[in-house]
Amino acid sequence: MATVIGDSGVWREIAESIWSLSSKVRSPSDIEPLLAHLRKMYQPSVNRKQTEIAQRVQFKENQIATFRAERGFVRALLNWFKILGCRSDITRLRAEERQHIAALSADIQRLERLLDSPELAGARAELAVIAQLQRLSAEHTILNDVHLRATRYIHFRGVPLQSAQVDHLVLSPAGVFVIETKQWSSRFADSGHYHDPFDQVNRAAYLCYDLLRERFGKIRVRSIIACAGSLLTAPANSYVKVLRVAELNNYIAYFRHRELMPDQLQSLREFFEE
């Protein structure tokens, strides 16, 4: 079994965004039960808050009644300011009640939107790729959500390039594999309304190659787009391999010629972990 370092970047962002709702969300499958729990607890929570606020408001209203019942000009003048304070407290309590209910509703709506979001679909796809790559042999290392940055601008196809994000990077005896994961419907893939994934993975692979060449000499870097949804059509003469998630391991294992020794692989791992 391969060594896995890091997690899906998209999933980490989602988990962090809903951390305040529950620290028990460990995977996308935990979101639907959490939503069901929030829906179940919504009305009891609203009822408790309304009861609490009603009691606190009643206490303030009783204070107002007491202040009004006291006699004397000076006392009435002093109590007038106290009554204003009580009324301000009541307004604040009513706002607290509304905010509590609005926050509960917003949490439920946020999870409802998340369940149908492209972001969650993308996270599921990246996690599926990680689970698939983990089945590679122990000679392989899988690094996820890798951020590459050069100390200078380099030129790739006439465009300056200094940084790139890689969904998954596989260190193999046969070289390095840069993998971009996509979860697209056929309709979206046909629309053309997206950044070119082939350019994206080519830029990342070239930057990876350039960084490694500076430190270790020439190391073979191959580019893959892993499709969890509709398969993308590669441009003519493209060196990017388009694969379904289930095809990844067979493709990587196909390259049997050993180009990197165990000590080299360890050095590469340490380099990327930095």
Q: Does the pTM of the predicted model rise above 0.75?
A: yes
Give the C-alpha separation, 50 to 58, whole Å: 12
Same domain, 142 and 263: yes
Same domain, 110 and 136: no
Provide DSSP, 2-56. -EEES--HHHHHHHHHTTTT-TT--SGGGHHHHHHHHHHHHHHHHHHHHHHHHHH
Same domain, 61 and 154: no
CB contact at 8 A, 129 and 228 = yes
Q: Is residue 211 part of a domain?
A: yes
Same domain, 197 and 157: yes
Same domain, 86 and 165: no
Same domain, 140 and 69: no
Q: Is residue 3 part of a domain?
A: no
The pLDDT value given to residue 23: 79
Tell me the CATH number at 195.
3.40.1350
Last residue of one domain, picked from the residues 92, 116, 140: 116
Quote the tokens at residue 135.
Answer: 């089945």
Residues of the chain with confidence (pLDDT) below 50: 188, 193
Q: Is residue 10 part of a domain?
A: no
Cβ density class 96-131: b for 16+ within 10 Å, e for less: ebeebeeebeebbeebeebeeeeebbbbbbbbbbbe
Last residue of one domain, picked from the residues 67, 99, 116: 116
Q: Is residue 7 part of a domain?
A: no
Same domain, 59 and 149: no
CA distances (Å), origin 167, targets 8, 186, 207: 7, 21, 14
Express each pLDDT in 148-170 by its tens digit.
998 888 888 888 889 999 999 99
Last residue of one domain, picked from the residues 116, 142, 175: 116
Quote the tokens at residue 87.
Answer: 């009324």
Q: Is residue 6 part of a domain?
A: no
Same domain, 107 and 127: no
**Strands 141-156 and 175-182, how do they pair?**
unpaired
Q: Is residue 45 part of a domain?
A: yes
Q: Which residue has the tokens 């893959």?
A: 224
Give the C-alpha separation, 126 to 43, whole Å: 36
The pLDDT value given to residue 245: 96
**Dihedrals phi, psi of 221, to nearest 5 degrees:** -125, 120
Give the C-alpha separation, 150 to 257, whole Å: 29
Q: Is residue 179 part of a domain?
A: yes
Domain of residue 66: give its range: 19-116
Same domain, 233 and 145: yes
Express each pLDDT in 36-75 by its tens digit.
999 999 999 999 999 999 999 999 999 999 998 888 887 8
On the 0-12 / 13-18 / 19+ scale of CB atoms within 10 A, 62 is exposed
Domain count, the chain: 2
Same domain, 78 and 160: no
Same domain, 103 and 126: no
Q: Is residue 44 part of a domain?
A: yes
Same domain, 214 and 266: yes
